[in-house]
Amino acid sequence: MTNLVDHIEDREQDLVALTRDLIRFPTINPPGEAYEPCARYVGERLQRSGFALDYVRATGTPGDSERYPRVNLVARREGRGPGPCIHFNSHIDVVEVGKGWTKPPFEGIVEDGKVYGRGACDMKGGLAASIIAAESFIACHPDFNGAIEISATCDEESGGYGGVAYLAERGYFAPNRVNHVIIPEPLNKDRICLGHRGVWWAEIETHGAIAHGSMPFLGDCAVRHMGAVLERFEDTLFPALQQKHTDMPVVPEGAKQSTLNINSLHGGQSESYEGLPSPCVPDSCRIVIDRRFLIEEDLPTVKREITDLLEDLKSNRQSFRYDIRDLFEVMPTMTDRDQPVVKAVEKAMADILGQAPDFVISPGTYDQKHIDRIGKLKDCIAYGPGILDLAHQPDEYVGIRDMLDSAKIMALAIHGLLGNTKQ
């Protein structure tokens, strides 16, 4: 074990260089830039360590096109004999850059023990740490039994349907080929993330009747109807959600209650036109809602809270009409703390950091949802080096020491889970 830890410590420069190289691929989603070159870069590196490569294009998934192909990598290194398989899954897509940066977002600048760039924290630093962990384990224990897999997948930031969901549907995460999964999401190096809250996205549309803007009494303003919906949300729904609390160890503290975000609002004429609008009463208004719910709640009840409110308005507000459309739903998930992957990372953390982990639940979903729901694989956690609060922020960074410590913990977890190598 000491040799393995020392081996990783000696590879600090390699770890930093790998992280910087990954950041330099501007894999922005949407639209899905540079997915294939990034995946092939990772594959070519792993091939040098004896990994067999499988590039899987998620044909027909949202956003996939000849210009923006959803190309995923699954790399597998077989050991000398049969045994369990541990899989490290990282997404390669990053969100838009946004405003407020003082560092170039795609150069991988190194300053004060940190690597800066879009995706440094979420989650190219985690991907780099998992690669170094696997390569170091193989170098120190070439006669291991079992298998190690590393995947670099698409579209996690937009639901994962061109990435892990597509792979899970095709059996890549079936329990008969993969036994343990670690997703190096940025949940802090001293935390083990057991799962996430549930989510329901929906679009609500209120309807009206178009008329000349100088004579609004001849029409029916859909925006005013949506205003009534939002007023009801403020008066009744938001206070009710604040009373719903969970025993799940969700972080941060505010996410231990049910939440609702109004993701977007649009009514009337298109905003893409730059001239003056014509004077019309809007006959349509739409909002997209993002409802995060707890493991103690059930999805039908979550939906009924909204539809009951809308039906009450329909009964009591003149000419109120609406439609509601489901966009996306994921059930909450939480891995049992007695699962082998949890125990292995917990022990490794005690060895490296000298402390027990904080067990947490993510406020938002990540690709564990597909591994659990589609792959039917329960032995899955998120563990990675990034600081959760830095994800999607300007001047995003990952700490070099955090990556080294996380790589050591991942490598010792491989050792513990394969369970057949000499220390």
pLDDT for 285 beyond 60: yes
Assigned token pair, 214: 């100088």
pLDDT score, position 384: 96
- The whole-angstrom separation of Cα 358 and Cα 356 is 7
| Alpha carbon distance 335, 325 (integer Å) | 31
DSSP 93: -
Q: Do 129 and 187 touch, CB atoms closer than 8 A? A: no
Q: What is the dihedral of CA 134, 137, 143, 146, to 10 degrees?
A: -40
Q: What is the reported pLDDT for 419? A: 74
Residue carrying the six token digits 């208004």: 285
pLDDT per position as a tens digit, 161-179: 999 999 999 999 999 999 9
For 219-236, what is the mean pLDDT? 98
Q: What is the pLDDT of residue 157?
A: 95
pLDDT for 313-332, tens place per residue? 999 999 999 999 999 999 99
User: What's the rounded mean pLDDT across residues 192-220?
Assistant: 97
Cα-Cα-Cα-Cα dihedral sign, residues 79, 125, 337, 153: negative
What pLDDT, on a 0 to 100 scale, did the predictor assign at position 35?
Answer: 98
Rounded Cα distance between 289 and 383, Å, is: 29
* Structure confidence at residue 1 as a pLDDT band (50, 70, 90): low
What is the number of alpha carbons within 13 Å of residue 250 lying toward its C-beta? Answer: 24
pLDDT tens for residues 292-321? 999 999 999 999 999 999 999 999 999 999
pLDDT bucket at 79, cuts 50 / 70 / 90: very high
Helix (H, G, I), strand (E, B) or coil at 266: strand
- Residue pLDDT, tens place only, 359-400: 999 998 999 999 999 999 999 999 999 998 899 999 999 999
| Token couple for 60 | 């027909």
Question: Side chain identity at 258, as an amino acid letter?
Answer: S
Query: pLDDT by residue (tens digit) across 231-283?
Result: 999 999 999 999 999 999 999 899 999 999 999 999 998 877 778 889 999 99
Mean pLDDT of the chain: 96
Predicted pLDDT at 117: 98
Helix axes 2-9, 125-140, angle to 10 degrees: 130
397, 401, 404, 407: CA torsion to nearest 10: -60
Tokens 């830890």 — which residue? 5
Would the pLDDT of 422 be above 70?
Answer: no
User: What is the identity of the amino acid at 373?
Assistant: R
Is the pTM above the cut of 0.85? yes
